[in-house]
Amino acid sequence: MGGVEQTQYSANFIETCQEVDNYKTVLDYVNASLMGIVQRNLKLISNPMERMEYEYHENENPFEALYPALKDISGQMNNGGSELKKQLDAAAKLGSIHRDFHRRARRCLRYIRLFLCIEYEELCEARRILNERRQDMDFAKHELKNAKAPEVVEMKNLVYENAQKHFESHLQKVITFFTTGFPNKNGTFH
């Protein structure tokens, strides 16, 4: 920033920011891996993953598609009808079980999705604003150092104190994110 001296964050704060960034990177990988396990058909995994929709559309589930084919064959076969009937019943059940599995898997990934798509973005925005507040405070400090007249020094001191208050309050918000978690819609933390 030219001739303006920049306020430095503590090593602990920088390390915590790096840990959160690493955590996000790992969660991206874990999430992609889990979604690949849950849905083997990669064409159905949405990109970007904000919605994490990977369920089959209605009547496109392989087990649901198997049911009509087995039903047609069972009508044409005379022998082995009881065995085919068992397969037909199993195919009917597997379609709904598979759909339920996808629903439950998506529900289990809800908090990962919440962190990746919402909370991490909010944290990045809070860190961006914190850097702006730091620059404002550093500039006000620079202006205060360069002020000569007593009335200008007094005015620049008020500007610096105000900028410092804004920086400190925003820093506390970011630290709160780190120490207590991320606030839910109702203001509580998880």
Percent of the chain whose pLDDT exceeds 70: 82
Distance between CA 133 and CA 138 in Å, rounded?
Answer: 9
Mean pLDDT value across residues 105-109 = 85
> What residues have CB less than 8 Å from 70, skipping those under 6 apart?
84, 87, 88, 91
Is the pLDDT at 110 greater than 60, yes or no? yes
Backbone angles phi, psi at 75, to 5 degrees: -70, -25
pLDDT of residue 73: 75
51 or 35: whose pLDDT is higher? Answer: 35
> pLDDT category, 172, cuts 50, 70, 90?
very high
Is the pLDDT at 96 greater than 90, yes or no? no
> pLDDT category, 187, cuts 50, 70, 90?
very low
pLDDT of residue 60: 72
pLDDT of residue 43: 64
Distance between CA 80 and CA 143 in Å, rounded?
Answer: 92
Least confidently predicted of 78-87, 94-103, 174-183:
78-87
Which residue in 185, 55, 58, 179 sits closest to 114, CA to CA?
Answer: 185
- For 19, 36, 39, 49, 104, the CA distances from 110, given in Å and listed in that order, are 22, 16, 16, 12, 10
Least confidently predicted of 35-49, 64-78, 91-105, 136-150:
35-49
Is the pLDDT at 55 greater than 80, yes or no? no
Query: pLDDT of 122-150, one tens digit each?
Result: 999 999 999 999 999 999 999 989 888 88
Percent of the chain whose pLDDT exceeds 90: 32
